Amino acid sequence: MPAIQIAPSILTADFGRLAEQVREAEAGGCDLWHLDVMDGHFVPPLSFGREVIAAVRAASDGRFIEAHLMVERPGEQFADMAAAGAQRLIFHYEAAGNLDRAREHIGAARALGCQVGLAINPETAVRDIAPLLAELDEVTVMLIRPGWGGQAMRPDLLTKVTDLAMRVRAEGVALQIEVDGGVKAHNAHSCAAAGATILVAGSAVFNAEQTPQAALAELRGAIG
Ligand code: DX5
Ligand code: ZN
């Protein structure tokens, strides 16, 4: 299995001491940051925007940042996200609506010098986005309904990860496969076994029971 990367999401972090939480997770060996931007339309809640991305950029020792845009009009946010320090822009296929519009978004993100990721909600099939795989750096498979941290993963959705991993091998494309939602130490291995190469971990890393360092060590141990 390729090296699996762990990408903490700060949704359940203590925003009153965000810089410290970033440094704690980095001391725990996280690989990159997964920052969840929500607009109150594509998903019901609001989360944060460019100011918080810039704050993570400033607190980090330089680790890679991806912005997961759960917003209705992602293209309008690309320039701000890139300027704030996001190096990969992940938009939702459901927000783009079709392959042509998704290709426009891919081009716009590339024009800003960013990597491009495409996220799919539970109801979107892998075959719907299959024509785009060669044009992307990453696909995010949502294992929950997007909008909230701390939900339980739907393990039935891991078949989409297996499907994607098969297509990646068959087509010989360089694509990271990310899983997002409900990743914990007890299910991290099944995500990796299905073919995920990046695990997003929100409440598994930032919770009341453990330090981020201890939580990351447990997750890393679970992947084996
Ligand atoms: C939810 C976000 C996720 C979330 C993950 O819409 O996209 O990244 O923060 O949090 P957990 O790991 O707690 O499910
Ligand atoms: Zn996310």
Q: pLDDT tens for residues 94-114?
A: 999 999 999 999 999 999 999
8-state DSSP, 161: H
CA of 97 to the centre of ligand 2 (A): 19
Residue nearest to atom 9 of ligand 1 (CA): 149
The pTM (predicted TM-score) of the whole model is: 0.98
**Residue that is written with structure tokens 């996280």 in the block:** 30
Domain with 214, as residue range(s), is 5-223
Residues of the chain above pLDDT 90, percent: 98
CA-based nearest residue to 56, from 78, 91, 28, 24? 24
Note the pLDDT of residue 187: 98
- Is the pLDDT at 217 greater than 90? The verdict is yes
Over residues 29-77, the pLDDT tens digits come to 999 999 999 999 999 999 999 999 999 999 999 999 999 999 999 999 9
Band of residue 2 on the pLDDT scale cut at 50, 70, 90 = low
Which residues form the pocket of ligand 1, taking CB atoms under 6 Å from any ligand atom?
A: 9, 11-12, 34, 36, 68, 70, 144, 146-151, 180-183, 200-204
**Averaged pLDDT, 135-148:** 98
**Residue from 144, 183, 206 whose mutation best tests the ligand 1 pocket (most atoms within 8 A of CB):** 144
Residues of the chain above pLDDT 70, percent: 99
Let me know if 62 is exposed, middle or buried by CB neighbors in 10 A (0-12, 13-18, 19+).
exposed
- Is the pLDDT at 1 greater than 60? The verdict is no
Band of residue 158 on the pLDDT scale cut at 50, 70, 90 = very high
**Residue from 11, 39, 92, 154 whose mutation best tests the ligand 1 pocket (most atoms within 8 A of CB):** 11
Structure tokens at 197: 């190469």
Note the pLDDT of residue 3: 87
Nearest ligand, CA of residue 183?
A: 1
Residue 147 CB neighbour total at 10 angstroms: 17
CATH number, domain containing residue 39: 3.20.20.70
**Averaged pLDDT, 72-101:** 98
CA of 83 to the centre of ligand 1 (A): 24
Note the pLDDT of residue 224: 82
Distance, in Å, from the CA atom of 60 to the CA atom of 19, rounded to the nearest integer, reads 8
The mean pLDDT of the chain is 97
Q: How many domains does the structure of the chain reveal?
A: 1
Distance, in Å, from the CA atom of 35 to the CA atom of 50, rounded to the nearest integer, reads 10
CA-based nearest residue to 199, from 164, 215, 175, 223? 223
User: Which residues are near ligand 2, the ion (C-beta closer than 5 Å)?
Assistant: 36, 68, 180
Distance, in Å, from the CA atom of 108 to the CA atom of 78, rounded to the nearest integer, reads 8
**Averaged pLDDT, 7-13:** 97
